[in-house]
Amino acid sequence: MLKRYLNNRGGAVGTVIIAAGLIIFILFPIFSVVFEKHLIHVKGQMLKDAIDITNIATYEAIKTQQGAKGDLHMRSSDIQNIFKNLLIKNLNLNGDMTPSDESIAEGQVTIQAIEIYTSGLPAVCPLGKIVNRAAVHSIINVPIKPSLYRGLILNAIGKQYIELEIHVDSEIPVNN
């Protein structure tokens, strides 16, 4: 049956066109979606690691400023300023939280929440995670620019970036 189909005039050309269509319109988009999802996951993990380091560095900076080992009492605005300055360094951002040339972020980064838990433990962070030890809780919005087909879809609906909301609760290491 296949031999008879291929022996007909134009049968081989039709088969090549159908195969090319399958590759271009089905396989490439599927590969693109899988590849881009993996890229976004990797970028998200890199951001989580950078924010985790920023959380711990914020705690250590406050502890050093206060010279205390117990409960840390500081104004929320001071904590936010320390965190913001450390986040700028860790994510390679400009002073206004926009990305520099070597930043993983593609647009202006926003800090939604930063809290330090040192007393009243166990506590529950605003997103429901139970905190049993001293910890720093943060939620950061980081815009990531997609590549490949997802960029075309976002442009069609009038958006430029995918907004990643990164939630990190960093437990503070205990010195024994």
pTM metric for this prediction: 0.80
One digit per residue, the tens of pLDDT, for the chain of length 176 reads 556 655 666 667 778 888 888 888 888 888 888 888 898 899 999 999 999 999 999 988 888 877 655 556 678 888 899 999 999 999 999 999 999 999 999 999 999 999 988 888 888 888 889 988 889 999 999 999 877 777 777 777 888 888 999 999 999 887 64
Domain layout of the chain by residue ranges: 42-171
Give the per-residue pLDDT at 20: 86
Give the per-residue pLDDT at 134: 87
- Who's near 17: CB < 8 A, 6+ residues apart? none
What does 128-160 look like in DSSP terms, one character per residue?
A: S-EE-SSEEEEEEEEEE---HHHHHHHHHTT--
